[in-house]
Structure 1
Amino acid sequence: MISVEHVNKRYLTRRGYKTVLHDINFQLKKGEKVGILGRNGAGKSTLIRLISGVEPPTSGTIRREMSISWPLAFSGAFQGSLTGMDNLRFICRIYNVDVDYVKRFTEEFSELGEYLYEPVKKYSSGMKARLAFALSLSVEFDCYLIDEVIAVGDSRFAAKCKHELFEKRKDRSIILVSHSPAAIREYCDNALVLEEGYMHSFPSIDEAYQYYNKS
């Protein structure tokens, strides 16, 4: 289970502290798939970073009783002067997974070819996303965090990503943050709405949609 309890997040700006998330509470059980609807600037990406552990909350608690991926296609942790392969080996050491398997999977899935052996700082944003997505799927997690990245690359590559994530790993938990109701309806069992940093829960996706469309 993942339990988010009274979580707040604020950042220091030129005008003082700005609170981005206000008293967020929800739970996710193993195998559940929840969508978080929110418009741009609602705090969705911040919440994903907190759940993944990339950033700590300002206050409150996030309890993780299952393994959680980093945000899919998140490339902020890559060391730019190292090659894609060097970054891959580093991630394998952190998660204690088989380097040969991850290498084979990433080479085939990312389709980066010789660029996998070039410094990441030479990559385009799309290439970084492909590498990050491939690495995310090469390590098996109980829960995958998805931050608006289902459409990585062209339509063919995006279809491959969807099959790998939503078909081959359909038994896993998913937290999908999006401003696209269609994506959440297609992949999730229920939905929450994040509005100006406040979380609203609903008994069904339809009711979440109704609230989201009115807001």
Structure 2
Amino acid sequence: MIEFRDLTKRFFIRGQRKVVADNINLVFPAGRAVGLLGRNGAGKSTLLKMIAGTMDPTEGQIISHGTISWPVGFAGSFHGELTGAQNARFIARIYGVDTEEMIDFVGDFANLGGHFNLPFRTYSSGMKSRLAFGVSMAVPFDTYLVDEVTSVGDAAFRKKSGEVFRARMEHAGAVVVSHGMGQIREMCDAGAVLENGKLYYYDDVNEAIDHHNGNMAKG
């Protein structure tokens, strides 16, 4: 379960105030895969970072029950001078995962080839995202945060990502950001729409998609 209590997040950009979260009070139930929808710039990735604990709210708090992954499309926690494999081993030790099982899983899943043993700083953005997704899927979190990562790579990689994600969802929940409504329908069973700092939750993902599409139609 993820509970938002009086959650507020404000930015000041070039002298203009931008409100991403405006006193949100809401609960994402445990064990649900929630598709987080909203127009570009609404603050979906910012909300994910606050859920993950990598960004602080301006006011209020987010209370979570169980372990939560980092946003798997966000690779800022990896050390640039360490190789992909070394980064994976380091995270395995932090989360108490068998290091060799982690290396085997991530090496096979991320499909980085020889780059797996090269410094992370040499990776392309897609390679960084694949490594981050693979490492997070190798850790048994209660809630996974997914930020557009399954759009990375070719059709075979996207198919493999979806299969691994669905396997994890048998025992966990998720918050998923994607601009692809087909992907949201495939991956999620509930939805939430972020619009003008307000967050609306729907038990039926199709109702959330309808709300989002209505917002987009208004321009």
Q: TM-score, structure 2 length as denominator? A: 0.90
Matches within 5 A, 1:98-117: 98-117=98-117
For the residue of structure 1 that corresponds to 2:19, the secondary structure is strand
For the residue of structure 2 that corresponds to 1:69, the secondary structure is strand
In structure 1, runs of 5+ residues without a counterpart are none
C-alpha distance after superposition, 1:104-136 (max 9, x if no partner): 111111111221111111111111111111101
**Structure 1 residue 30 displacement after superposition:** 2.5
Q: Distance in 2 between matches of 1:163 and 1:79?
A: 28
> Which deviates more from structure 2 when the two are superposed, residues 25-34 or residues 74-83?
25-34
**Structure 1 residue 180 displacement after superposition:** 2.8
Matches within 5 A, 1:8-157: 8-15=8-15, 17-157=17-157
For the residue of structure 1 that corresponds to 2:121, the secondary structure is helix
Q: Distance in 2 between matches of 1:64 and 1:171?
A: 17
In structure 2, runs of 5+ residues without a counterpart are none
**Structure 1 residue 192 displacement after superposition:** 1.5
Kept after mapping to 1: 8 A contact 2:137/2:168: no
Aligned to 2:195: 195
For the residue of structure 2 that corresponds to 1:108, the secondary structure is helix
Given the superposition, is the C-alpha separation of residues 88 and 205 from structure 1 closer, same or farther in structure 2, using an over 3 Å criterion? closer
Letter in 1 for 2:103: K
C-alpha distance after superposition, 1:135-158 (max 9, x if no partner): 011111111111122222111011
C-alpha distance after superposition, 1:47-95 (max 9, x if no partner): 0111011111111111111111111232111111221122122212321
**Structure 1 residue 13 displacement after superposition:** 2.7
Identity over the aligned pairs, expressed in percent?
43
Kept after mapping to 2: 8 A contact 1:9/1:21: yes
Letter in 2 for 1:26: L
What is the alpha-carbon root mean square deviation over aligned residues? 1.8
Q: Distance in 1 between matches of 2:63 and 2:124?
A: 35
Kept after mapping to 2: 8 A contact 1:193/1:200: yes
Kept after mapping to 2: 8 A contact 1:43/1:196: no
Letter in 2 for 1:183: Q
Q: TM-score, structure 1 length as denominator? A: 0.91
The size of the alignment, in residue pairs, is 215
Aligned to 1:160: 160
For the residue of structure 1 that corresponds to 2:134, the secondary structure is helix
> Which deviates more from structure 2 when the two are superposed, residues 101-110 or residues 162-171?
162-171
**Structure 1 residue 209 displacement after superposition:** 2.9
Q: Distance in 2 between matches of 1:209 and 1:151?
A: 19
Matched, 1:185 2:188: no
For the residue of structure 1 that corresponds to 2:86, the secondary structure is helix
Letter in 2 for 1:63: I
